Chain A
Amino acid sequence: MGLKEGLLCLLVKEDAHGYQLKSELEATTGDTWQINIGQVYTTLQRLERDGLVESTESNGDGRVVYTVTETGREEATKWLTRPVDLAASGRDEISLKILMAMRSGVGDPRRVIEKQRGSTMGMLQDFTALKSDASNPDFAWQIYLDRLIFSAEAELRWLERVESRLEENPPTPIALEVNGPVEEMEEAR
């Protein structure tokens, strides 16, 4: 979710001015997102330019109140129901570290796995301790925690799988063919 989508969705709910939108957005995300008020205003201006919202001067206090347009409403609905593409998140740092360890021989890939597992297990322990503390009934907090717990569990299972694969195919660092291109260059000379 970008600021654009967040603002649009909140404006579908009700008309509001910039500062209200900032507070509401922060509350919705369980205060995990600290929003810059300047960015809120520049985004609202862009939404107005694109015909997704309209603005009116409010009653006397000088604040500008924003209203969503029909196009804006459609845009918000479209965004909400568009599935999040997991594969689109790009390069995965821990996969790359394991692969680089295998390829370069700089370190043992099993050591990379072991370190990652220790760190993720430690986080899973912390999340679990937080979950069992019933003193925080906030809904946003609970769904974030569940998400983090399931992600950590999935990563630990995945690391286990990678380790098995490594055992089946032990890594042999690949020697860089330093001679190849150099010889070719000399031949070319």
Chain B
Amino acid sequence: MMEPILSMRRVGKTHGEGAQRVDALVNVDLDLMPGELVAVTGRSGSGKTTLLNMAGALDIPTSGEIIVDGQSLASMSKNDLARLRRVSVGYVFQQFNLLPSLTAAENISLPLELDGMKPDEARILAENSLEEVGLGGMADRYPDQLSGGEQQRVAIARGLVGPRSVLLADEPTGALDEATGESILKLLRTRCDAGAAALMVTHEPAFAAWADRVVRLRDGRVESISERSKVPSTTADLG
């Protein structure tokens, strides 16, 4: 059987103590399989972003265990965690967070070079990654020469460059209009169909609907999960 690339077991997160105690996450179980797109929905304050931060080792759970690529995050050193963030897990934020003084390709290759990769190799990986998100000809453009949708594509290319196979996306369509947002979801879907895995926070049902599974959080608990089922093939099946 295929192993999950990211696995959360009974994960809890508590802020504060006594009367001020807030349970941000309560006993969350969640698996992300290779090739899977999972959407996390829920209202503001339901724990969506906390869950994403835990998955990416940006925050530490109060209880439970998180396993990424077969390794428990709790057992990893600071260096191991930093390496995990560089080689296994990529992020996409609502604000695209591209460096304005670097080209699209440089935004992607810089972290690789900082990690010790030769500039030529990093450049090739960056160009390939841009190609995969449909921005093959725009490697040398600066962020302000790109539309919002294109900038978010660069951010996704950066998130999934080289060996990285897990993308954590926090409201990746939040700053985009509906049609552009949909094109970003199409892209995430295509990248997942090609083998990547993505955990995406969104409050829009129409965007969550692109996922294989939709998880809903309520007061830090997983309340419900819906899955894509068999796909009807004619209108007669819809009737």
Give A residues with C-beta under 8 Å from B. Answer: 30-34, 114-115, 117-119, 121-122, 124-130, 132-133, 136, 138, 140-141, 144-145, 148-149, 152-153, 156-157, 160
Contacts of A122 in B (CB 8 A): 214, 226-229
- Name the one of A128, A140, A149 contacting B235, with C-beta atoms under 8 angstroms: A140
What are 23 A-B pairs with beta-carbon distances under 8 A? A30-B235, A31-B234, A31-B235, A31-B236, A32-B235, A114-B216, A115-B224, A117-B226, A118-B216, A121-B208, A121-B214, A121-B226, A122-B226, A122-B228, A124-B205, A124-B206, A125-B211, A125-B226, A125-B229, A126-B229, A132-B186, A141-B234, A152-B209
Chain B, interface size: which category?
20 to 34
Give B residues with C-beta under 8 Å from A. Answer: 43, 186, 189, 205-206, 208-212, 214, 216, 223-229, 231-236, 238-239
- Name the one of B43, B189, B205, B209 contacting A157, with C-beta atoms under 8 angstroms: B205
A141 and B235: CB pair below 8 A? yes
Q: How far is the CA of A149 from the CA of B205 in the complex (A)?
A: 10
- Name the one of B43, B186, B205, B226 contacting A118, with C-beta atoms under 8 angstroms: B226
Q: How far is the CA of A118 from the CA of B211 in the complex (A)?
A: 13
Contacts of B224 in A (CB 8 A): 114-115, 117-118, 121
B209 and A128: CB pair below 8 A? yes
Q: How far is the CA of A122 from the CA of B212 in the complex (A)?
A: 9
Q: How far is the CA of A157 from the CA of B208 in the complex (A)?
A: 13
Contacts of B225 in A (CB 8 A): 118
A131 CB, nearest partner CB in chain B, Å: 9
Contacts of B210 in A (CB 8 A): 125, 128, 132
B226 and A32: CB pair below 8 A? no
Q: How far is the CA of A160 from the CA of B216 in the complex (A)?
A: 12
Report the nearest B residue to A32, measured CB to CB.
B239
A127 and B209: CB pair below 8 A? yes
Contacts of B232 in A (CB 8 A): 126, 130
